[in-house]
Structure 1
Amino acid sequence: MDLNFGINGSISVEAARPVLVDTSTPIGIVVPFGDTDGEFKVFNSADEMKTYLEEKGATEDDLAYKTANAISLQNARGKIVVKFVTYTKDADGNDTTKQSVLDGLDVLKTAPQDENILTTPDLIICPEYSYDTDVAAKMDSLASLFRATAIVDVNAPDEATANSFANNFGSRYMLLYNGRSKAEGKLYPTSALIAGLIAYWDAGGDNGYDPFGYARSHSNRIVKGVSGSERIIEYFDGVDCEARRLRQNGIGSIVQDIGWRSYGFETRDIDPIWQSLERVRAFHRWLEAIIEANKWARDRSADQLVWVKKTCAEFFRKLTGANIALGYEIYLDPNLTDVTAGKFTFVLKTANMPSIRELNFELVFSDDWNNAFVNWINSI
């Protein structure tokens, strides 16, 4: 029965929802350390991880400490999720820590649901041990699940061996980097340095807060603290050299080029479109943000799709206005939409702003001005 007395009111929404991209870059690490009893921990910073290790008796030569310090050297901000494993040997004295690392990756897989962690890593490293096909392959699997990036140490003694190792992989979720690097008079795992570099620039880098750091290439960045490499990597502008050949095969390097800089931000995906790591990372973050912003529409009346479309349009309009996307188009695909069944598919077309990977100059000698020169002389 209707009640016809009193004053009644209600509230409703007719507005596009904000699409918020998660710009944080948590780093997931599996690393051996002797006195942690295999703990699974989350730290708010690399310095906090260093303090914890110092309290546990770590020295500057411990791999876990080097890993934390490598990230700290880059001034990276953000959470670090660490699964510590123990060093093990078999009856013959052979190092069997690899299996502990593989098992540790299984534990890292639970990070988003573990009540003490509740963090999904965006970068995954297993310093030193990632230079093993089995470990790197499992890192790739986990990175694919998380839509993250596995950074792999390619500690090969020469170019041919590095290429042979790289040829085992063809994933858009892996970033391979060559060799160990010298920092503070010691050899550091390059994967940890690059992880810190990416996290730092994702958060805005040297120029203050950049909300789109995650969408940019982090090649040609100074890797702070680095003073050399374990193996000399030949690098020259404009000519064939080892660093350029390795990069062509999807292996980055830290090279000496007005300071020690990252050189390479490519995956080894078979599709050239997804060999650009910044494109892979941007598209996944955009997709996750769009899904999150539109969860409210699930099981609502279909006329609310108007606001779903407007929400997506507003998001891509802002990306285009900030020169992060080149443009966009949004429409319901009639071939993938069944109105009666309540199944709707929006197609979101866009393109990220590409980075300059090759810049060529052609300097041409010309005699076009010879007559002008003669006339000038004659006029004096």
Structure 2
Amino acid sequence: MDLNFGINGGISVEAARPVIVDSSTPIGIVVPFGDSDGEFKVFNNADDIKDYLKGLGATEDDLAYKTANAIALQGVHTKIVVKFVAYTQDSDGNDTTKDSVLAGLDVLKTAPQDENILTRPDLIICPEYSYDVDVAAKMDSIASLFKGTAIVDVNAPDEAGANSFVNNFGSRYMLLYNGKSKAEGKLYPTSALIAGHIAYWDAGGDNGFDEFGYARSHSNRIVKGVSGSERIIEYFDGVDCEARRLRQNGVGSIVQDIGWRAYGFETRDIDPIWQSLERVRTFYRWLDAIIKANKWARDRSADQLQYVKQTCIDFFNKLKGAGIALGYEVYLDPNRSDVTAGKFTFVLKTANMPAIRELDFDLVFSDDWNSAFVEWVNSI
């Protein structure tokens, strides 16, 4: 029966939705501590991890503590998900901690769904233990699932060893960095330093808040607290050197260049387009944000696609205006859309603002001004 009495109303929306890119950079860590399987916890910052470990009797020389301190040195405040695993041995006394780390990575993979964590790490590290093909490969697998970045310690004794190790990988989800680094008079895992470094600059770094920090290369920036490296990495401008050769092969280093700076922000993907890590990270963040902003449209009437399209246009207009995207094109692909079946594919064509990776100067001697000089002398 119709209700004909009273005043009735409702609300609806005819508008594009805002696309919000998550600018936070949670860090996921699997690290051994103690002789029994440890907790799976989320911390608000690295100082909280240090306090937690001190409460369990950790010393400043424990790998877990040094990992937390390496991140804290960068001055970053971000969520950090940690799975503490046990140092283990088999019956013959052989170190089997690697197995604990691999099992810990399986636990870390559940972070987005674990009711006590509910955080998807963007950066994944297994300090020191990532210098193992099996561990690094599993980190790569989880990073690809999270659309994040696994930062791997390449603790090789020399350049040849580094190249031999990294030639096992060809992923866009990995950032490989050389050796251990000196800080506060101790050797720290470089992966932890670089993870904190990236998270710090994603949030704007020394420049304050930057909502597009994730879209930039963080190479050629000071890595705070670093005062040297375990082994000397040869680096010179303008000539062939170890640091440049390693970077060409997808291995970054912290080098001495007016302070100790990150040098390298490349992946080892077979496609040169995705060897730029800032491009990889940018495109996956953009895609994730666009999908989240348009989830409301699933199973709605197809005429709502006009708002889906406008949502994407408004987003890329903002990126172009901020100088983060060079340009864009948004259109419904007729070849991949089936109106009857309710299947639609939008093509979002764009390009990110690239980083300057090579800057050349050609200083040329010329005698073009000799006659003018002679004329000047004669006029005196």
The TM tier, using the shorter chain, reads over 0.9
Counterpart contact for 2:36–2:87, Cα < 8 Å: no
Counterpart contact for 2:42–2:79, Cα < 8 Å: yes
Offset of 1:4 from its aligned partner?
5.1
Offset of 1:2 from its aligned partner?
5.2
Counterpart contact for 1:36–1:84, Cα < 8 Å: no
Tell me how far apart the structure 2 counterparts of residues 339 and 227 of structure 1 sit (CA, whole Å).
61
Offset of 1:10 from its aligned partner?
2.8
Q: Deviations over 1:159-189 (max 9, x none)?
A: 0010000000000000000000000101000
Residue 31 of structure 2 corresponds to 31
Offset of 1:36 from its aligned partner?
6.5
Residue 192 of structure 2 corresponds to 192
Counterpart contact for 1:170–1:268, Cα < 8 Å: yes
Offset of 1:5 from its aligned partner?
4.9
Residue 93 of structure 2 corresponds to 93
Counterpart contact for 1:176–1:251, Cα < 8 Å: yes
Offset of 1:92 from its aligned partner?
2.2
Residue 60 of structure 1 corresponds to 60
Tell me how far apart the structure 1 counterparts of residues 6 and 86 of structure 2 sit (CA, whole Å).
72
Residue 289 of structure 1 corresponds to 289
Q: Deviations over 1:18-46 (max 9, x none)?
A: 00001110000000000674210100000
Counterpart contact for 2:35–2:88, Cα < 8 Å: no
AA matched with 2:44: N
Structure 2 residues not aligned, in runs of 5+ = none
Percent identical across equivalent pairs? Answer: 86
1:159 partnered with 2:159: yes
Counterpart contact for 1:77–1:203, Cα < 8 Å: no
Tell me how far apart the structure 1 counterparts of residues 145 and 76 of structure 2 sit (CA, whole Å).
24
AA matched with 2:101: V
Offset of 1:287 from its aligned partner?
0.3
1:174 partnered with 2:171: no
Tell me how far apart the structure 2 counterparts of residues 54 and 135 of structure 1 sit (CA, whole Å).
27
Residue 315 of structure 2 corresponds to 315
3-state SS of paired residue (2:48): helix
> Which deviates more from structure 2 when the two are superposed, residues 5-14 or residues 188-197?
5-14
Counterpart contact for 2:32–2:64, Cα < 8 Å: yes
**Under a length normalisation based on structure 2, what TM-score does the superposition of the two structures give?**
0.98
AA matched with 1:171: S
Tell me how far apart the structure 2 counterparts of residues 311 and 140 of structure 1 sit (CA, whole Å).
33
AA matched with 2:113: Q
Q: Deviations over 1:300-358 (max 9, x none)?
A: 11110000000000000000000000000000001100000000000000000000000
**Under a length normalisation based on structure 1, what TM-score does the superposition of the two structures give?**
0.98
Residue 300 of structure 2 corresponds to 300
Q: Deviations over 1:88-109 (max 9, x none)?
A: 1122221110000000000000
> Which deviates more from structure 2 when the two are superposed, residues 10-19 or residues 74-83?
10-19
Offset of 1:221 from its aligned partner?
0.8
Tell me how far apart the structure 2 counterparts of residues 268 and 368 of structure 1 sit (CA, whole Å).
47
AA matched with 1:253: S
Counterpart contact for 1:36–1:56, Cα < 8 Å: no
Residue 128 of structure 2 corresponds to 128
Offset of 1:3 from its aligned partner?
5.1
3-state SS of paired residue (2:364): coil
AA matched with 1:115: E
Counterpart contact for 1:16–1:307, Cα < 8 Å: yes
Counterpart contact for 2:35–2:87, Cα < 8 Å: no
3-state SS of paired residue (1:316): helix
3-state SS of paired residue (1:100): helix
